[in-house]
Amino acid sequence: MDLKSLVRTIPDYPKPGIMFRDVTTLMADAQGFKAAVARLAEPYRTEPVDLVAGIEARGFILAGAIADRLGCGFVPVRKKGKLPWKTISQEYALEYGTDTVEMHEDALARGKRVLLVDDLIATGGTAGAAVKLIRRLGGHILGAAFIIDLPELGGAELLKKDGIDVHALMAFEGH
């Protein structure tokens, strides 16, 4: 099944020069969504995963389905100010300025084996911050899984250099 053809590309969104890779069209396709979740979970089927950590917001949709498939729990990585309980925060750099992601301070116990999931990795800023949060909580990152990699932006490479097993179902040229 050709999952790449199910991703919609929107040029110049949210700003000029960005090719927005919209996975909502893939997720709306029953076969496509099922295949994407199965392929993202596949490398971890025989590994003892304790938790799948999903990055807000599209990462939640995938991480929940993957957690169900792997028979493990789900924990959210959210934008600042959204989680109701005590949190730990991690700032990361954007092209202009910074952003912050958070997790509940009790989201995972030390030594838990975590699979990190998002829809897309570009510069790796968001996933890198999530990795730091998980490690600060004492979690062990088994891998990071994405539908899309934008290799020119180098995020997947950064995670790999940090010793993380990175899986992406497809790659797109450009930003």
**What 8-state DSSP symbol labels residue 125?**
H
Ranges within 93-132 binding ligand AMP (CB under 6 A): 118-127
Q: Note whether 18 binds ligand AMP by CB under 6 A.
A: yes
Show the tokens assigned to 145.
């899984």
58 tagged catalytic: yes
Sign of CA dihedral 114, 151, 9, 13: positive
42 is catalytic: no
From 21, 45, 95, 113, active-site residue: 95
**Which of the residues 21, 45, 58, 173 is marked catalytic?**
58
d(CA 54, CA 64): 8
Q: Scanning residues 30 to 59, which ones bind ligand AMP (CB under 6 A)?
A: 55, 58
Q: Residue 172 has which token pair?
A: 């797109």
Residue 88 as a binder of ligand AMP (CB under 6 A): the answer is: no
Q: Establish if 155 lies at the interface with ligand AMP (CB under 6 A).
A: yes
Token pair belonging to 134: 């998980």
User: Is residue 62 a contact point for ligand AMP (CB under 6 A)?
Assistant: no
Binding of residue 19 to ligand AMP (CB under 6 A): yes
Instruction: Report H helices in the chain.
Output: 24-27, 30-41, 58-70, 125-136, 155-161
* Residues carrying an active site annotation: 58, 95
List interacting residues with ligand AMP (CB under 6 A). 18-21, 55, 58, 118-127, 155
